Amino acid sequence: MLTPSRRWLLLAAVIAVAASWGAAVIATRREDAALRREAGVAANLFEAVLRNVLERYRALPLVLAGDAAVEAALRDPDVRPRLNQRLAVLAARTGAAAIYVIAADGRTIAASNAGTPLSFVGREFTYRDYFAKAMAQGRGEQFALGTTTNQPGLYLSARVDAGGRALGVVVTKIDFSAVERQWRQSPTPVFVSDGNGIVIITSVEAWRFRPERALALRPNSSHPAHVDARLPGGTEGEYVRARRGTGMAGWTLNLLQPAGPAVAAAATAASTLTLIVAGLMIAAGWWINRRRTRDARAAAARAAAQAQLEAMVADRTRELTAEMDERRRAEAALLQLHLELEQANRLTTLGQIAAGVTHEINQPVAAIATWAHSARHYLARGQAEQAGTALATIQQLTERIGHITGELRDFARKSDGPPVPVVLAEAIAGSRLLVPDGQGRRRIEIDSRAVPPRLAVLADRIRLEQVLVNLLRNAQEAGASRIRLSAVADAGQIRIDVADNGPGLPPAIAASLFTPFQTSKPRGLGLGLIISRDICRAMGGDLALAPSSGGTCFRITLPEAA
């Protein structure tokens, strides 16, 4: 029969084993969480490097497509040697693998590698998707293996337009070998797969152009967030997998963070340390029990448990406070970035409409000069009444100029205040000042009679005018001759329709209307409608494409001002 002392020792041993197992479980979970965080941070860094390379070259073919030298080379074969030299210098400075120009018939007429054994000049590329897409849609992208160089890369293309017809296509090839060499310096396997699940960029050479399912990434039975993988050379292990988008449609960056040894080491260390601590506690308890100081031992144990609990609470409180501060900083940075993007779009729009507004100001300025000249003659003849009439007219014209320039100043100003009651008719009148007929454009009629004169919405006037200017200018540039604005109140919401009699939107464009960088304009960035919709949503409303029997109709929804 066990004595009380032995029963106490047996119970202590059971508790020690249970504590050791619990410590191992907790340590495993913490190490797993730390590994996932590390994998996420590493994936963000690798994704940033790749995105930087993509963004550095994305605008290059678009800029060259509008270059007069490229257009001249497509028309005149005599200037093509000079273009070859210029493309070679540009490729060397930017680090592009190749830059070349293809005529409308698919033949390459100039290239940065002209005069080399691998020259593209004279080669036909009509079978390439990037050429067909650029000729049909204005831009194209394709990752493929080069038929001339036998080197893989990303091809970015842009159509060259002149006089209403397509002259050819400018192509930039990006080589990712430097990125892959940088990735290989890390022991962490990294690869990028396309929309079809094919590995196209990788730090593991043996994985290139293999289907992702062929890599044998098997889910780990013990940790759902882990995978088991066999690397080339026979090395097999457990990894944490992190995925990130890359800014390219269908491309996904995958990172495999080694996990097995770290998790096992953390569990072993925690279990061993817990057993040692438990053994020491058992020895101390036995000694205390032998000295018949059970009361003192219990008090000490309670004090130690209380201190440990308070320390754990304090540590967790600090961790939660740090996480909350970091989240607030991230949200503030995201809001600031969004506001700066709105301001950039507003200033871009302001630059585009400056010529039209200048024409609107020139007319009253010319009239002021005429009336001032007349006033001088009236004064010289002593005709004070006629001179007063002339000066009054000059005052009215000056006030009109001040109204137009004031609207321009307000439109350019940053605004991030809370929504306030705004009279819709006044906001429409302000936006109309920034969308004049303009010289050299078709005359356009803007009809806002269907907007009640006192109807008010909860909004920021400057941001609302930015949305209206974007929609009016889009209709004007689409070739519309008449725009009708109407507004109705419905259950606390105001629906504002901006409808034009233009050619309307093709189904393919309408389906991706609010997708970033999707645009039907040859030189557009495809961000105006995205920013306009975000502005409406930030003010508690929305922007969407509305059904229309003819032309195009956009519907703005905003809260009604009480």
Q: Give me 118's structure tokens.
A: 């691998």
DSSP state of 151: -
For residues 505-529, average pLDDT: 70
> Would you call 416 helix, strand, or coil by DSSP?
coil
Domains of the chain and CATH, by start: 60-175 (3.30.450.20), 419-559 (3.30.565.10)
Instruction: Kindly indicate the confidence band of residue 348, based on its pLDDT and cuts at 50, 70 and 90.
Output: low
- C-alpha 283/C-alpha 459 separation (Å) is 72
Instruction: Kindly indicate the confidence band of residue 412, based on its pLDDT and cuts at 50, 70 and 90.
Output: low
Q: Report the relative pairing of strands 98-103 and 165-174 from DSSP bridges.
A: antiparallel
Query: What's the pLDDT score for residue 440?
Result: 46
pLDDT 10s digits, 109-139: 999 999 899 899 999 999 999 999 999 999 9
For residues 390-394, average pLDDT: 80
> Which range has the worst mean pLDDT, 122-136, 235-249, 421-435?
235-249
Query: What's the pLDDT score for residue 342?
Result: 55
Query: What's the pLDDT score for residue 118?
Result: 87
- Where does 427-477 show beta strands of DSSP type E? 445-450, 456-459
- C-alpha 491/C-alpha 248 separation (Å) is 41
Burial of 33 (0-12, 13-18, 19+ CB in 10 A): exposed
Q: Give me 361's structure tokens.
A: 């100001």
> Would you call 253 helix, strand, or coil by DSSP?
strand
Residue 170 to residues 81, 156, 166: CA-CA distances in angstroms?
16, 8, 11
**Percent of the chain's residues with pLDDT above 70:** 71
Cα pseudo-dihedral 114, 104, 64, 50, rounded to 10: -80
Q: Give me 32's structure tokens.
A: 């797993």
Instruction: Kindly indicate the confidence band of residue 185, based on its pLDDT and cuts at 50, 70 and 90.
Output: confident
Mean of the per-residue pLDDT values of the chain? 79
**Contact assessment for residue 183 and residue 190, using Cβ atoms and an 8 Å cutoff:** yes
Query: What's the pLDDT score for residue 459?
Result: 93
Instruction: Kindly indicate the confidence band of residue 485, based on its pLDDT and cuts at 50, 70 and 90.
Output: very high
For residues 186-191, average pLDDT: 84
For residues 206-221, average pLDDT: 75
For residues 435-451, average pLDDT: 73
For residues 503-524, average pLDDT: 72
For residues 540-559, average pLDDT: 94
- C-alpha 195/C-alpha 183 separation (Å) is 22
- Tokens 């893989």: give the residue: 152
Query: What's the pLDDT score for residue 541?
Result: 96
Cα pseudo-dihedral 279, 285, 287, 290, rounded to 10: -140
Query: What's the pLDDT score for residue 439?
Result: 43
For residues 162-173, average pLDDT: 91
Indicate whether 189 pLDDT > 70.
yes
Query: What's the pLDDT score for residue 391?
Result: 86
For residues 325-352, average pLDDT: 62
Indicate whether 224 pLDDT > 80.
no
CA proximity to 521, closest of 170, 161, 57: 161
For residues 36-60, average pLDDT: 81
For 44, residues 6+ apart whose C-beta sits below 8 A from its C-beta are 244
Q: What is the CA radius of gyration of the chain?
A: 35
Query: What's the pLDDT score for residue 397?
Result: 65
Query: What's the pLDDT score for residue 8?
Result: 60
Indicate whether 82 pLDDT > 80.
yes
Indicate whether 153 pLDDT > 80.
yes
Residue 404 to residues 294, 401, 410, 464, 505: CA-CA distances in angstroms?
90, 5, 10, 17, 32
Helix (H) or strand (E) holding 166: strand 165-174
Instruction: Kindly indicate the confidence band of residue 506, based on its pLDDT and cuts at 50, 70 and 90.
Output: confident
For residue 237, the cross-strand partners are: 229
Instruction: Kindly indicate the confidence band of residue 526, based on its pLDDT and cuts at 50, 70 and 90.
Output: low
Query: What's the pLDDT score for residue 346?
Result: 54
CA proximity to 483, closest of 515, 451, 507: 451
Query: What's the pLDDT score for residue 495?
Result: 97
Instruction: Kindly indicate the confidence band of residue 231, based on its pLDDT and cuts at 50, 70 and 90.
Output: low
For residues 25-34, average pLDDT: 65
Query: What's the pLDDT score for residue 275?
Result: 58
Query: What's the pLDDT score for residue 136?
Result: 92
Indicate whether 306 pLDDT > 80.
yes
Indicate whether 355 pLDDT > 50.
no
> Is the Cα torsion angle 500, 505, 511, 517 positive or negative in sign?
negative
DSSP state of 435: S
> Which range has the worst mean pLDDT, 89-103, 227-241, 512-526?
512-526
For residues 248-254, average pLDDT: 84
